Amino acid sequence: EPEVTQTPSHQVTQMGQEVILRCVPISNHLYFYWYRQILGQKVEFLVSFYNNEISEKSEIFDDQFSVERPDGSNFTLKIRSTKLEDSAMYFCASSVYGYGYTFGSGTRLTVV
Amino acid sequence: QQQVKQSPQSLIVQKGGISIINCAYENTAFDYFPWYQQFPGKGPALLIAIRPDVSEKKEGRFTISFNKSAKQFSLHIMDSQPGDSATYFCAASTQGSSNTGKLIFGQGTTLQVKP
């Protein structure tokens, strides 16, 4: 069964550093998403991406965050200057139609 | 109005029993209601989903019941097994060409099925 692949599985970074979380969505999917889950809490929407542009973003997705689909296969989330409160699991997801999507296994980001 | 409220927060069921998790929403524009199952260290996996034009959907041991007038939906796991022990999330979104498929998740229910 096709999978959404995320790398790395765990990233530790110093506060103030930039991080890039990488995702390879399922190849024929057209909609791409990033969600995050702070430990023990619910999954929260960050951003959706369709037709090479952001289609919707949440209040969490401020100027410190950006997304890119640089080469038609990868989908990245960049956090420019990490804060302690950015520590969370970050999930990438993709779908064909904008529903029924497949999530990756996540990247655990720890900001120290 | 964008919230989805889920209960209970945790649930312990004996093997063979029925697990019931409930969700409520306020936004009447929601028209797609999936349930996700999440094991530790993994991403959420789509379990079953329903649209508001039907009141019930069944897939194997998993059934969604939907009450449009009450704005509530629930997941029933029949003959619960220890392998069903996981965290379950309900979610809701608004479909349609002008929408992005953003999911609003409930707070999650940790299910433990005792052997």
Structure confidence by residue, pLDDT tens digits, A33-88: 999 999 888 899 999 999 899 999 999 999 999 999 988 789 999 999 999 999 99
Select from B103, B86, B113, B83 the least CA-distant residue to B33: B103
- pLDDT tens, position by position, B75-109: 999 999 999 999 999 999 987 655 678 999 999 99
Report the alpha-carbon distance of residue B25 to residue B47 in Å, rounded.
Answer: 19
With CB atoms and an 8 Å threshold, state whether B46 touches A55.
no
Q: Which residue of B has its CA nearest to A103?
A: B43
Is residue B64 pLDDT above 90, yes or no? yes
Q: B110 CA to chain A: closest CA distance, Å?
A: 10
Q: A89 CA to chain B: closest CA distance, Å?
A: 9
Tell whether B2 lies on the interface with A, counting CB pairs under 8 A: no
Q: B38 CA to chain A: closest CA distance, Å?
A: 10
CA dihedral A78, A6, A101, A111 (to 10 degrees): -50
The beta-carbon neighbor of B42 closest among A31, A44, A105 is: A105
**CA A105 to each of CA A51, A76, A112, B10, B71: distance values in angstroms, whole numbers, following the listed order:** 24, 15, 22, 23, 31
A70-74, A97-101, B56-60 — which is least confidently predicted? A97-101
With CB atoms and an 8 Å threshold, state whether B43 touches A33.
no
With CB atoms and an 8 Å threshold, state whether B104 touches A45.
yes
Burial class (CB in 10 A: 0-12, 13-18, 19+), B40: exposed
**CA B59 to each of CA A58, B25, B30, B106, B114: distance values in angstroms, whole numbers, following the listed order:** 33, 23, 22, 21, 23
Contacts A91 to B, Cβ<8 Å: 43-44
- pLDDT tens, position by position, B29-55: 899 999 999 998 889 999 999 998 999
Report the alpha-carbon distance of residue A19 to residue B25 in Å, rounded.
Answer: 35
